[in-house]
Chain A
Amino acid sequence: SQQGEEDPQALSIQEGENATMNCSYKTSINNLQWYRQNSGRGLVHLILIRSNEREKHSGRLRVTLDTSKKSSSLLITASRAADTASYFCASLSYNQGGKLIFGQGTELSVKP
Chain B
Amino acid sequence: GAGVSQSPSNKVTEKGKDVELRCDPISGHTALYWYRQSLGQGLEFLIYFQGNSAPDKSGLPSDRFSAERTGGSVSTLTIQRTQQEDSAVYLCASSSGTGLWGANEKLFFGSGTQLSVL
* Interface, chain A (partner B; CB < 8 A): 2, 4, 30-31, 33, 35, 40-45, 48, 88, 90, 92, 94, 97-105
Contact = CB atoms under 8 A, between A and B. Distances in A.
Contacts of B45: 99-102
Given A31-B104, A94-B100, A41 B56 contact: no
A30 B112 contact: no
A102 B35 contact: yes
Contact of B103 (A43, A88, A98): A98
Contact of A99 (B42, B48, B109, B112): B48
B110 interface: yes
Nearest to A48: B106
A45 B37 contact: no
B107 A97 contact: no
A2 B101 contact: no
A105 B111 CA distance: 18
Interface string B84-104: 000001010100000011111
Interface residues of B, number: 30
A90 B91 CA distance: 15
Interface of B: 4, 33, 35, 37, 39, 41-45, 48, 55-56, 58-59, 89, 91, 93, 100-104, 106-112
26 contacts: A4-B42, A30-B103, A31-B103, A41-B111, A42-B4, A42-B91, A42-B109, A43-B93, A43-B107, A45-B108, A88-B42, A92-B104, A94-B100, A94-B103, A97-B101, A98-B56, A98-B101, A98-B102, A99-B33, A99-B48, A99-B103, A100-B45, A101-B45, A103-B42, A104-B42, A105-B42
Contacts of A102: 35, 42-43, 45
A-B pairs, top 6 by smallest CB distance, nearest first, are A98-B101, A102-B43, A45-B106, A104-B42, A42-B109, A98-B103
A69 to B, nearest CB: 21
Nearest to A4: B42
Contacts of A44: 109
A100 B46 CA distance: 11
B79 to A, nearest CB: 19
